[in-house]
Homo-oligomer: A and B are copies of this chain.
């Protein structure tokens, strides 16, 4: 019985893998698998929503920027976000600055090192109806990450906000004045 279960599990994994690959192949090379999200032109010029820092495996410091539709929704407290809202989460290595620490009374200064990746969230309630209206993509050095499981993990994580923050429309970030 155990063997059968293992086989069934393996078969499901293979099936998911094939489905994901097929889905990935359906998207252009400069877009994310599953969602077909591209890196929006000019996103580095978008306005600041907030900042954050992640320890653990990420060990990064990050900024969340938004296009004008997203910014307006954040500033006016509009939820769910309207279609067309796009968020860009930029992350850099979280690094101690020995130069800055030489200025301060004690080691205390941490700065942004090399960029790690950029994650894009696009609101399109029709196109992404299966994932609560959100499509996702991760980009490294401007190139779409083509590993389907990476892209799948986006919604798996954001979906947990359904119960934790029912009014957040699956977005972790709050606007910082």
Contact = CB atoms under 8 A, between A and B. Distances in A.
A81 interface: no
The A interface, classified by DSSP as helix, strand, loop or mixed, is mixed
Interface string A116-136: 000000000000000000000
A166 B44 CA distance: 28
B56 A172 contact: no
Copies of this chain in the oligomer:
2
Contacts of A172: 100
State which size class the interface on A falls in. Answer: 35 or more
Interface in A145-177: 157, 160-161, 164-165, 172, 174, 176-177
A47 interface: yes
B53 A65 contact: no
Given A47-B45, A115-B177, A157 B52 contact: no
Given A160-B103, A164-B102, A61 B51 contact: yes
Given A56-B106, A92-B176, A106-B56, A112 B50 contact: yes
Interface string A16-48: 000000000000000000000000000011011
Interface of A: 44-45, 47-48, 50-56, 58, 61-63, 65, 90, 92, 94, 97, 99-100, 102-112, 115, 157, 160-161, 164-165, 172, 174, 176-177
